[in-house]
Every structure is written in C-alpha cells, then in structure tokens.
Amino acid sequence: MTAHGAANGTADIEFIDVSKHFGAIAAVDHVDFAIARGSFMSFLGPSGCGKTTSLRLIAGFEQPTTGDVRIAGTSMVGVPAYRRPVNMVFQHYALFPHFNVADNIAYGLRQRRPRPDRAEIARQVDATLDLVRLPGFHARRVWELSGGQQQRVALARALINRPTVLLLDEPLAALDRKLRRDMQIELQNLQREVGITFVLVTHDQEEALSMSDTIAIMRDGRVIQIGSPRTLYDAPANRYVAGFVGESNFFPGEVVAADERGATLKTAAGVVLSAPYPPGGATLVGTARGVIAVRPEMVAMWVGPDDPDGAAEFSCRLGGRVHNRIYLGDQTEYSVATDQFGDVLVRAAKASALEIGPGQEVRLGWRQASGLALVDS
C-alpha cells in the first residue's frame, strides 16, 4: 500500500501520509497511495468516509493538515487550485448558469496566458463537443439541458484543458439507471481515448467494479485496501472489504486452530468451519476471533435427501427453508433460513434444473476451499 510510484516515474498522484482534520474530525486519516499514470482509479466507501475530501485535496480546494500530496512528482502543498494541472467534474456539475454551453466549455482555455485566439478556442470547443457527443449544442443555455447532457457539458469543460488528471465526484449519481449505465461505458471509452488519469469517487460498488483499474476502499478517513477489482473480490483484506465488494455470507466465530494457510473457527451455534486465507491475506494465528466469508455463488443448494455429486467434498452441510427468491436476470438469488447461521444467501444460475420456491426445504453446502478466513473488522 505504501509503494510509491514516483521512484520509477509512473505515478500521477501520490498521497504520502496525508491527514486532513476539520476541527476534531479526521476526514482523511494517514492515507498513503499512488495512482499510476493513465489508469482509472476509484474511491469507494460509505457516506462520510472521506472520499470527497480526498478528491478536494487533489484538486486544491483543501490543504492537508499533515503529509504531502504530489501530482506528477511535484509537491502540491500550498499550491492553489487554479495552478494545479487537474480538472474536476462536480457532483452537481456546477455549470455557469450565466454562460451558454460553448462559453462554459471554453472557460478553462480563456484563462490561459497567453490566451489562445478565437479560432483556436472555437476549434477545440467543436472537437470537445463532438467527443462528448453533443455536436451543435454551442448556443444552448445550460439550464435547458437534461441531466445527462449537463453531465457531458461538465465533462467537456474539464476535458478540453487536457489535464494530467481528471477528478470525478459521483458524476453519475444524479442520473437514472439506464443513463448511468450508458455514461459508465462512455466514460470508460473516453478514458481510453484520451489516456488521461481518471479518479472517480463513488459509493456504488457496481460502478467502481465495472469501471476501474484500481479501487481504494475507504472507511472513516482511512484507506483499508487498494487493488484491482479482481484482487478485492478474490482477496479482500478483511470482512469490511469483502462486504463492500460483492456480497458475502459471513460466519464469525472463535479461532480454535490456525496455521499459515488457513483457520478453523467455532461459531456461536457451535458449528466448526474451516477455510483458507485469501492470497496474501493476514493470518489469524494468535487472534481470538475471525470470520469466514462465503460468496453466495459458492453455496450449493439441493433438495434432499440424496446428496448431489461431489457433496462428499463439502466441508459444511446444513438444512434450511427458502423464504425469499429474487430473479437477477441470468441468476436467481435465494435467501435461506437456517438454524445455525440465520439467513444464508445463495445464488444459482438460472439454468439450474430445479425450480425452488419460497417455503421449500433445502440443503446447503460448500467446499472448504470456497470460503475465506478473514479478520473480523
């Protein structure tokens, strides 16, 4: 987590032990990370965890209380926002209501000294409007535009400056689901097209997972884990990350045995479960409590009494009753009430032959290797 890319010249943004306090609140608390040049990075975390503050520290609207913020290897402490080579897309766009679309987009270019000539500005505005697929929108008033169009104008206004880094603070939060999906794809394409480093703030895990090269999971002002979506999914650092990236069943308990590869826990109901640690995960050796996480798609479900093929390998088998069923398109999610663990989530491919409905008695099981033994925090 503290590997600074500046040494080899590939990091666009670095936080070096950065803290930002507002009175007694530590909005950002001893944060360290480096964002690689040309990558798509997301900050993911619940409300109030310090995502916006981190972005504002990069943009220059806030100055760190302690630590150093670097952009392209240069310390930005004390450098005001208007001298930083980054641009931001604001959550509510912050378009200038007294300017039309073209003047909004040209705003950054017009602040340059020497100021580019009119023809050059007009040419770049045209090109940028094409880039965000709003050709011919020059003279429109910004408050006449739809949410998605305003969002594109905000994007164009930032992109025209060819910043080193583009900052996006929940830019899609105000859009409806369908439009959000379209814009996510467009943003990704755009990022590849222009090759600028994108830093996105979101509390939508799907958005972060689908768009980013790297995700930083935040909690209470701290970065809990940084990694690719795959890493975070397959090797979460603890229960919090596993719960934030995708869904999991959590079975907390007392550590009764632990070695270098995995741990065995005894849950409150007295069930003994074992699982390996995720790759590179912390060991539970010497820890009193831990948790075993099992992804819903790793849980097998069948109607008894005969065990299906391969059930012999299951480390855990238990009975339960389906009390809820949700269709998720290509998958179906079941909520199964069990005596030992309460509700257990199960996700099965739709193609699964048996039609199981609410009220059905079922049996559940999973392989020991499908679970992950994690730090319970």
Partner 1 sequence: MRGYAALIYVFLYAPILLIVVFSFNSGFSASDFKGVSFKWYAKAATNTFVIDAVVNSLIVAASSATLATVFGTMAALALQRVKGWVRTVFDGLIYVAIMVPGIVIGISTLIALVSVFGLLNTALVALIPALAGPEPPLALGFASLIAAHTLFNLALVIVIVRARIAGMDRSLIEASADLYATPWRTFRQVTLPQILPAVLAGFLLGFTFSLDDFVIAFFVAGSKTTLPIFVFSSIRRGVTPEINAIGTVVLAVSLILLFGSQLLLRRGHGRPRRA
Residues at the site binding partner 1, with contacts judged by CB under 8 A = 59-61, 80-83, 86-88, 90, 92, 94-98, 107-108, 111-112, 143-147, 157-158, 161, 174
Interface with ligand ATP, residue 27, by CB under 6 A:
yes
Q: What is the x/- site pattern for ligand ATP, positions 3-22, by CB under 6 A?
A: -------------------x
40: part of which helix (H) or strand (E)? strand 40-44
22 binds, among Mg ion, partner 1, ligand ATP, none (CB under 5 to 8 A by kind): ligand ATP
DSSP state letter for 308: P
CB count within 10 Å of CB 113 equals: 4
101 binds, among Mg ion, partner 1, ligand ATP, none (CB under 5 to 8 A by kind): none
Q: Which amino acid type is present at position 53?
A: T
* Minimum CB distance to ligand ATP smaller for 169 or for 376: 169
Q: Are 148 and 175 in contact (CB under 8 A)?
A: yes
Cross-strand bridge partners of residue 332:
327, 348
CA distance 87 to 82: 10
27 binds, among ligand ATP, partner 1, Mg ion, none (CB under 5 to 8 A by kind): ligand ATP
Q: Which SS3 state, helix, strand or coil, does residue 178 take? A: helix
Pairing state between β 40-44 and 214-219: parallel
Phi, psi of 162 (to 5 degrees): 45, 60
Interface with ligand ATP, residue 50, by CB under 6 A:
yes
Tell me which stretch binds ligand ATP (CB under 6 A): 43-51, 101-109, 129-137, 335-343: 43-51
Tell me which stretch binds ligand ATP (CB under 6 A): 45-53, 114-122, 191-199, 231-239: 45-53
Q: Shortest approach of ligand ATP to residue 202 CB, angstroms?
A: 8
Among 19, 33, 51, 290, binds ligand ATP (CB under 6 A): 51
CA distance 253 to 289: 6
Q: Shortest approach of ligand ATP to residue 50 CB, angstroms?
A: 4
Helices (H) and strands (E) in the chain — how many of each?
8, 20
Among 19, 42, 52, 104, binds Mg ion (CB under 5 A): 52
CA distance 343 to 233: 22
48 binds, among ligand ATP, partner 1, Mg ion, none (CB under 5 to 8 A by kind): ligand ATP
Question: CA geometry: angle at 4 spanning 228 and 232, to 5°?
Answer: 15
145 binds, among partner 1, Mg ion, ligand ATP, none (CB under 5 to 8 A by kind): partner 1
Pairing state between β 372-374 and 289-294: antiparallel
Q: Are 7 and 199 in contact (CB under 8 A)?
A: no
Tell me which stretch binds ligand ATP (CB under 6 A): 40-48, 97-105, 268-276, 309-317: 40-48
Interface with ligand ATP, residue 215, by CB under 6 A:
no
CA distances, 329 to each of 53, 274, 318, 335, 350 (Å): 37, 32, 27, 16, 8
How many Cα neighbours within 13 Å face the side chain of 172?
23
111 binds, among Mg ion, partner 1, ligand ATP, none (CB under 5 to 8 A by kind): partner 1
Interface with Mg ion, residue 54, by CB under 5 A:
no
245: part of which helix (H) or strand (E)? none
CA distance 1 to 371: 25
49 binds, among partner 1, ligand ATP, Mg ion, none (CB under 5 to 8 A by kind): ligand ATP
Tell me which stretch binds Mg ion (CB under 5 A): 47-55, 209-217, 259-267, 306-314: 47-55
Closest listed residue to residue 196, CA positions, set 155, 161, 163: 163
* Minimum CB distance to ligand ATP smaller for 55 or for 71: 55
Among 25, 77, 109, 298, binds ligand ATP (CB under 6 A): 25
* Residues near ligand ATP (CB under 6 A): 22, 25, 27, 45, 47-53, 203
